Amino acid sequence: MAETMPISQKSQYAVRAVFELAKRQGTGATKISDIAEAQAIPQRFLENILNHLKGGGFVESVRGKEGGYLLARPAGDLSVGEILRFIEGPLSPVDCRVGASKSSCSMYGRCPFNSLWERAEKALEAVYDGTTFRELVVREAEECQERIVDFSI
């Protein structure tokens, strides 16, 4: 069975939460329970993730009866890469590219794969940094529109 380089569940939840807020941008604050339900995120994890994202300046909270969360800036100005880096750290395909030292890598300084890992890292960054949450919202709307079947005769 092949090993994968998964993005943590926490990062996936963070991206999905920001995506949901991007979908609702301009409609006021969104309650945690609405985000959790729409994106199938356990509410207790979501509360922690949103507080973490708030600390990073990605979301804002609104108190009161109509309170909840909203994006701190336009969805078109926020990339998936920013959120992943904030939650995960550097976007590297292998651990040895992040803070490698002689003690942590037996091939340190003479790795024949270093240029490969560097190219893969740049490709990951290009995809994640080149994708805004606004683009994801638009893409989802287009895909939903394509799925609508016209039964008129």
Task: Mean pLDDT check: name the lowest of 92-106, 111-125, 137-151.
Answer: 92-106
Measuring CA to CA, how many Å separate 129 from each of 70, 78, 82, 126, 145?
A: 21, 9, 7, 5, 26
Strand partners, 69: 30, 61
In the chain, the domains with their CATH numbers are 8-74 (1.10.10.10), 79-131 (no CATH)
Alpha-carbon span 131 to 140, nearest angstrom:
13
More confident residue, 7 or 29: 29
Can you tell me whether residue 69 is helix, strand or coil? strand
pLDDT in tens, 108-125: 778 888 889 889 999 999
Q: Give yes or no for residue 99 having a pLDDT over 70.
A: no
| Contact residues for 134 (Cβ-Cβ < 8 A; gap 6+) | 22, 74, 75, 76, 78
Alpha-carbon span 30 to 35, nearest angstrom:
7
